[in-house]
Structure 1
Amino acid sequence: MSKKIDRFKLLLDLAERKRKEAERLLGESQQRVAQAEAGLRQLSQYQLEYQQQFQAAGRNGLSSGGIQTYQAFINKLSATSLQQEQALKQSRAQLEQVEIYWRQAMAHHKAMQKLLDKAQEEQRRHGDKRLQQELDERAQHTRPTYI
């Protein structure tokens, strides 16, 4: 019975490592999503401020070269925003996959823990039963003191 428990302990240890690795990956993925969201918010805020500057500069009069410069930069900001949105979508998709992996690793770890607990309980019951049998046998072989 002890070999069985040792095997379950080894399997539980492997499941624990896998669970910890999944937790690490989950944290990294969550951090990437948060960074991508923050970057997109920052980029959008910067784009809005720059458009406001462009409008203010337009009211004060701008040369055609100045207008083209502003528009080119706004177009670059828009393209960068689209790229950032794509990166955010990819990060979210990766996060979904990592969450699935993490859930599976957690379930596997929990299952291994239950199996180990069950085997240990079975071993304990078996030991209790064996001890009770030994006590019963001793009680049968012991002579009463009054004979």
Structure 2
Amino acid sequence: MSKKIDRFQLLLDLAERKRKEMERLLGESQQRVAQAEAGLRQLKQYQLEYQQQFQQAGRSGLSSGGIQTYQAFISKVSATTLQQEQALKQSQAQLEQVEIHWRQAMAHHKAMQKLLDKAVDEQRKLDDKRLQQELDERSQHTRPNFI
């Protein structure tokens, strides 16, 4: 194998490692977004259920202390929901950045693969040409048997 091919193979190996690392990070980012979305859905569902409980309790009569307790808890759940929405937005923004880097790593890997393939093909053509020249030279130096 020629030095050129060896260098391209090394570059391809490095690009492959980078691509795999970016795929791992992409998976982790996608998982974080999915977890944040699931957490947000749970919080909203919990908030809705608690508000319904508050309304039912209000129909049957609540003390002012009970109303304040319900309202304080609903306020805390609302604040937590807002925090979870912010975390989701941040996770989505990170995912977008990781996707960009992943696409770049994929493109770089493909480019390195094409360069390696081209170098291997050029080397193969060069080897074939040398072999043909050697065969031509041998055929010129051999004497025919009928002489």
Shared fold, TM over 0.5: yes
Which amino acid counterpart does residue 45 of structure 1 have in structure 2? Q
1:1-147 counterparts in 2 under 5 A? 2-147=2-147
CA distance in 1, matches of 2:132, 2:114: 27
CA distance in 2, matches of 1:72, 1:144: 107
Tell me the TM-score normalised to structure 2 length: 0.99
Cα displacement (A) at 1:110: 0.5
Gapped regions of structure 2 (runs ≥ 5): none
Aligned-residue sequence identity (percent) comes to: 88
Cα displacement (A) at 1:36: 0.1
CA distance in 1, matches of 2:32, 2:111: 30
Cα displacement (A) at 1:96: 0.1
**4+ residue segments displaced more than 3 Å:** none
Q: Deviations over 1:47-82 (max 9, x none)?
A: 000000000000000000000000000011111000
Tell me the TM-score normalised to structure 1 length: 0.99
CA distance in 2, matches of 1:63, 1:93: 45
CA distance in 2, matches of 1:126, 1:134: 12
Which amino acid counterpart does residue 142 of structure 1 have in structure 2? T
Which amino acid counterpart does residue 138 of structure 2 have in structure 1? R
Cα displacement (A) at 1:85: 0.2
Cα displacement (A) at 1:139: 0.6
Cα displacement (A) at 1:22: 0.1
Aligned residue pairs, count? 147
RMSD over aligned Cα, in angstroms?
Answer: 0.7
